[in-house]
Chains A and B, each alone.
Chain A
Amino acid sequence: MLPEFPWLSLVIWLPIIGGLAVIANGDKNAELSKRIALGVAVAAFAVSLPLWFMFDASTAAMQFVERADWIPAIKVEYSLGVDGISMPLILLTTFITIFVIIAGWDVVTYRPSYYMGAFLIMEGIMVGVFSALDAILFYFFWEAMLIPMFLIIGVWGGPNRVYATIKFFLYTFFGSVFMLIALIYMYFQADSFSILDFHALPLGMTAQVLIFIAFLLAFAVKVPMFPVHTWLPDAHVEAPTGGSVILAAIMLKIGGYGFLRFSLPITPDASAELDGLIIALSLIAVVYIGLVALVQQDMKKLIAYSSIAHMGFVTLGFFVVFAIVRHTGSADGAVMGIEGGMVQMISHGFISGALFLCVGVLYDRMHTRQIADYGGVINTMPWFGAFVVFFAMANAGLPGTSGFVGEFMVILATFRADFWYALLAATTLILAAAFTLWMVKRVIFGPVGNEQVAALKDLNRREALNLGVLAVATLAIGIWPKPLVDVMEPSIVHLVEQVQVSKLATAGVHVDAGAAVAAELVQMTPAD
């Protein structure tokens, strides 16, 4: 069909409307609700496929663009579009949601239709975040995402869910409101809320630094970066399996996406100035959080910390750009760093999603997530054991799996910047292997731990299908990442070019923009 067809709107609104329909159908006929939910999820994935197949990978321009007035009085538009950075993330979203629906099929007994409906609504909102080209529309979806997730964790979560979900909400709310102020501030500079106009907006250094910090608060909480990561282990542990999968596989990526879409291109000079801070925080995440993961007793918590460590890699890959340019004088390696981060995000989406599904499989049978309660699971669940070992290896970055590709690219890029950065980053290969494989050893291998383990049944068809498809995806990207990288390449090359152009020079006419911000911050008297 024609590219003018509003594919993006369809991918956003189909799941939202479908989710409402599922909720409206209710639990009286739960079986029908589940079928509708699965149908909607599959349909949403199907209508997102044209984004991949009709995507023109030779340009960095926005594609599938849609524009309509939304609030003309303040120049807010309903404007959508994707490039090589956002498109793969949209596909990841629609893809993973199918497995979330399938995974909840039998195990969610409390109000299953509301559960499925909430996830479908989440899906639409998340696609909206990735495709919004208007800052207010982006913020609209960004914040709206909190409501279904808040309810999912709170209603279907574990014993300490209330604490976890309120912490989750307030942390992310705290991070994002300051971003809103930055967006409004830039609106008055650019006289538009278009993100692309923001990219071209000249800004003085002080303004850039303040805007960068506002973005950092929002995105660092979402990623999450050390030291604002503490909500994640709580949220993960208490969330139902599907919630954990969505959190790890997609919501964390939204933070990473924000850095690429907002921080780097809008505030390149501030990013270059403060990249040391981000790199330091990323390396702390990789090393320190890796060590923290090592001592976890709870499987979900362990995977949660492992996610934080892996996301540290992503932010490292994004911000090492500036160090590379400084060190080598050329941007060749920089593209690889960002690409590595992107591949890592996609790959982590598959792997962490699969690992949480694995924990879910065990939890549904034994109702415990403590590592110590298991042992020798492979004796009773051989298929399951095989999958867990596979995903654990992928998590540790075994060559041949997608986990390796991203990490390798980031480490390679980091080498060009600084040997010591690379050395620290490379410790992840050891640490990730240590915490994942040690967990596998204690849970899967060894003698049968207790009677409950002895009574375990292996995967049913549904679970096997879930894990099988994710395993194929992990392998596919691991063995042949080229299509994925090719799609991203032009957009990322464009982004790297963008960040190397200082906005300070063009801000010449606005040389005092920074001083103006400072003045505005202290100004008490409103203008007439």
Chain B
Amino acid sequence: MNFQAIDLFTLLPELVVLITACTVLIADLYLPKEERDNNQLITFAGLAAALAAVGVVGLSFGSEPTLAFGGAFIRDPMSDLLKGAVLVVTLLAFAYSARYMREREMWVGEFHVLVLFALLGIMVMISANGFLTMYLGLELLALCLYALVAFNRDSGAGAEAAMKYFVLGALGSGMLLYGVSMIYGATGAIGFEAVAAAVAADGMDNKILVFGLVFVLIGIAFKFGAVPFHMWIPDVYQGAPAPVALFLSSAPKVAAFAMAARILVDALPALSADWSEILIILSVLSMGIGNVVAIAQSNIKRMLGYSTISHVGFIFLGLLAGSSEGYAAAMFYAVAYALMAAGAFGVLVMISHQGFEAENLDDLKGLGERDPWLAAMMTMVMFSMAGVPPLVGFMAKLLVLQAIIDIGLVWLALVAVAFSIVGAFYYLRVVKMIYFDKPEIDAPVDGTRDARIAVSINGLSMLVLGMFPAALLSLCQAAFVA
């Protein structure tokens, strides 16, 4: 493998994140305790620089895909957009978390480092152009997340959640790896293009390939948290500290989308008839179980967990359409969902305070009186999740429905909207708690400037992207021009 300097430029955003993470790691060792807040500054600066790097790299290469490191790494319009989205979401996550983590004495260098390395893993996954790179990114992400879930050392629930996540996550990774090994055995290739070429030549006749596909799909479904591989989601969301749940529910979903898009669309397009049938089943189950079980939850973190599951079902709808419109719709949905999830958990983080975790639905009661602006933002996020215009959730649902009706799956669209009616109920219940009930607690709400800016950007983005979706949509479509 020839090394070329230009390769380094291609992965400038990753390098910036890596350098930031290492800088925080070292600075945290040497800074005196009272100056450790500089970690935060370094992180913010690093993330902003990485965002700029994504822009620079994207602009200088344009819409042509760029390969690096002998084809193991790819930069294309899809990777630019998804990296931009995860960077924004991560910035939001840090802005939300600062006060919460500081009050609990968890605002330490390790938190920053772990999140940054997880972010690096996500970015590697987004740009992976081969099974090996994909797996490297996935494991980097997963290991950081296991540690983050257990970040509150004294919390039994956190440790339990981390154990569950670790065991199931390892199982999922194992399945994925097993599938990859079969595909490698069948095709003799590990890079996505080579695999695609080999599969196109061999086709369905190779039964090992089909087995491999099934195992890979199980791995993807595990990472997404699609039913029936969803068991870990509610427990992990509930057990993890709220800021970790925030991060966990947003950025890694974008990574999971990237993984699905790269593997299914780039590497295995020839098998699309097979994987889309499997995705139909996963999607219907996810939308059904996610939405119905969410109604029964009184813990809002669990409720959001089941809500994630149902949204994963919708993302799958776009993927299984097997058309470039469908992939673009799924991508739009994934980005919109990451923003929605960040907003919902962000508000929870903001209304938690010293010695009090906001995690039951009742804790939101009367938020409309306690803090009208925060309440308005949460309301927008909830209506967006329910898919009501003029918010972005509606546009996302419209696009995926359009994609599946286009391929003639009208019945599936009917199933999807039927479950979204069920889903509307529990989102409305949150709005009901916020506006129609009197406050039970009169606790202060996070007033730090960063968090308020974050929640405003986050909430208003629902409205802006919902009313003017054309720009984001055209970026998503540019990623999948055939």
Contact = CB atoms under 8 A, between A and B. Distances in A.
Interface in A120-172: 136, 139-141, 143-144, 146-147, 150-151, 154-155, 161-162, 165-166, 169-170
A169 B404 CA distance: 26
- What is the interface of chain B mostly: helix, strand, loop, or mixed? helix
A528 B203 CA distance: 14
- What is the interface of chain A mostly: helix, strand, loop, or mixed? helix
Interface string B419-443: 0110011001101100110000000
Interface string A488-528: 00000000000000000000000000000101111111111
Given A177-B420, A181-B414, A155 B407 contact: no
Contacts of A53: none
A147 B383 contact: yes
B435 A528 contact: no
A170 B421 contact: yes
Contacts of B428: 150, 166, 169-170
Nearest to B433: A162
Given A154-B435, A166-B428, A174 B421 contact: yes
A1 interface: no
Nearest to A178: B417
Contacts, number: 115
Interface string B395-428: 1001101101111111101100110110011001
A178 B417 CA distance: 7
B410 A521 contact: yes
A191 B480 CA distance: 21
A2 interface: no
Given A162-B436, A169-B428, A71 B469 contact: yes
Contacts of A165: 432, 436
A274 interface: no
A180 interface: yes
A162 B425 CA distance: 12
B423 to A, nearest CB: 10
A184 B389 contact: no
Contact of A521 (B272, B411, B469): B411
B425 A73 contact: no
B321 interface: yes
A187 B403 CA distance: 12
Interface in B332-382: 368
B7 to A, nearest CB: 34
B409 A526 contact: yes
Interface residues of B, number: 46
B402 A184 contact: yes
Given A150-B428, A150-B431, A173-B421, A527 B436 contact: no
Interface in A348-380: none
A188 interface: yes
B470 interface: yes
A200 B418 CA distance: 29
B448 interface: no
Contacts of A166: 425, 428-429, 432
Given A151-B435, A523-B409, A527-B407, A73 B417 contact: no
A147 B381 CA distance: 13
Given A144-B390, A180-B417, A520-B410, A526 B322 contact: yes
Nearest to A177: B417
Nearest to B395: A71
B320 interface: yes
A185 B273 contact: no
Contacts of B429: 166
Interface in A187-222: 187-188
A329 interface: no
B410 A143 contact: no
B216 to A, nearest CB: 19
B477 interface: yes
A188 B389 contact: no
B298 interface: no
B474 to A, nearest CB: 6
Interface string B255-285: 0000000000000000011001100100000
A181 B413 contact: yes
Contacts of B320: 526
12 contacts: A71-B470, A73-B470, A155-B436, A161-B436, A170-B428, A174-B421, A178-B417, A184-B402, A185-B410, A188-B405, A526-B321, A527-B322
The 3 closest A-B CB pairs, nearest first, are: A177-B417, A520-B408, A140-B389
Given A150-B428, A526-B322, 14 more contacts: A139-B389, A141-B389, A143-B394, A151-B431, A154-B436, A170-B428, A177-B417, A181-B401, A181-B410, A181-B413, A184-B398, A527-B322, A527-B407, A528-B273
